[in-house]
Chains A and B, each alone.
Chain A
Amino acid sequence: MGADIKQLRTRIKSVNSTLHLTKAMGLVASSKIRKATEAMLKGQEYSSALIETVDELSSYEECRKSPYMKEREGGKICLVVIAGDRGLAGGYNANVFRLMRNFPDAMVIPIGKRACERFSGELLYAEKFSYSLAKEMAEDICRGFLNGEFDRFGIVATKYNSLMSQDAYVKWILPLQKSEKKASSSAIFEPDEITVLNAVIPEYIAGIIISSVKESFACEVAARRVAMDSAGKNAKEMLDDLGLQYNRARQGAITQEITEIVAGSEA
């Protein structure tokens, strides 16, 4: 009985410290959520303007000649994979990596500490990812694509639906898909459409990369908060159960002692 009580006491202690940890991590995550979602919205605003322009450009007949729009036979794939810097964020990292199982031969450019560890790339933190890094990356990607190092380029990231729901996705960027939209031709492109298109592509890719990183980071923080909330809830339930067991064992030991004393005095 005595050993049982001691065991229960150590378990209660360890679950208690887990509860503290989840609470602290949940608090850190919730304080970051607001900033992260704001950054995400700003990034989206920026990239949506670029996407709109490139979309319009890609609907012009003459832009089909651009090397960025040429469909190629080869199957070599390059992917930018965006995952989190840290674990304990529910299924956030696992969902991205599960999606990556569909592309075992892809050339991977990882962003986020977890992704860098998994795909052994240069360490890049998702939280501190900056525009200049994105631009450098985009220029390398454009060069690689034009030199034929790979035939398709895409991004694996996580989409922010709401605080409770995020989805990992893969988005193909190169070769550019022609837009279904008719060219609205309200604007003049200087000097001409194809030159603008070719010049804007690195900017376009950098914009998409940075806005995806920001969106994914918001997902990471939100996922962590939700995960920590439910982990905290589980820890509390466990504590209740253990407390009950502990008290029962303690009560049992006392009752036994009394019975022994009474039996002793009677003898």
Chain B
Amino acid sequence: MKTFLLKISSPEGDLFSEEVISIRLRGSEGELAVLAGHIPFVSSVKPCSFKIELSDGEEKEGRTGGGMLSVSKDKTVFLTGNVEWKN
């Protein structure tokens, strides 16, 4: 599977920065998933639980209080104030 760099950034610094296969979360218009090679786009993120598929196929789950997702060619940045990891 192709991977892309996902950064989860908070005011306390980067909470996560790794090559991943996908991230699924709730945008302003409903559920969305980002895979490698997604066109650049920006969306706000609603408070939701999100799932990240790591490069080794493992799944990481967390909850966020909302934020902003910005996808650019070289990386995807998820700006959020607080994240609670489930595992």
Contact = CB atoms under 8 A, between A and B. Distances in A.
Contacts of B79: 46, 49-50, 203, 207
Given A49-B70, A199-B28, A203-B66, A189 B41 contact: yes
B39 A188 contact: yes
Nearest to B80: A203
A49 B78 CA distance: 10
Given A49-B70, A203-B66, A203-B68, A190 B42 contact: yes
Contacts of A199: 28, 44
A211 B79 CA distance: 14
Contacts of A187: 40-42, 70-72
A200 B40 CA distance: 17
Contacts, number: 82
B58 interface: no
A206 interface: yes
B15 to A, nearest CB: 11
B9 A45 contact: yes
A50 B68 contact: yes
B56 interface: no
Given A49-B79, A135-B65, A188 B42 contact: yes
B43 A190 contact: yes
A210 B41 contact: no
Interface string A51-88: 00100000000000000000000000000000000000
Contacts of B41: 187-190
A43 interface: yes
Contacts of A186: 40, 72
Contact of A42 (B13, B28, B67): B13
Contacts of A46: 9-11, 79
B28 A190 contact: yes
A200 B44 contact: yes
Contacts of B12: 39, 42, 131
B11 A203 contact: no
Interface string A195-228: 1100110010011001100100000000000000
B81 A196 contact: no
A203 B82 contact: no
Interface of B: 9-13, 27-29, 32, 39-44, 65-68, 70-72, 77, 79, 81-82
Interface of A: 39, 42-43, 45-47, 49-50, 53, 131-132, 134-135, 186-191, 195-196, 199-200, 203, 206-207, 210-211, 214
Sorted nearest first, the 8 A-B pairs with minimum C-beta distance are A199-B44, A42-B13, A131-B81, A188-B41, A187-B40, A190-B43, A210-B11, A46-B11
9 contacts: A42-B12, A43-B11, A132-B81, A132-B82, A187-B41, A187-B71, A187-B72, A190-B29, A196-B43
Given A49-B79, A190-B32, 20 more contacts: A42-B11, A42-B12, A49-B70, A50-B79, A53-B42, A53-B70, A131-B10, A131-B82, A132-B81, A134-B11, A188-B40, A190-B28, A191-B28, A196-B28, A196-B42, A196-B68, A203-B44, A203-B66, A206-B81, A207-B11
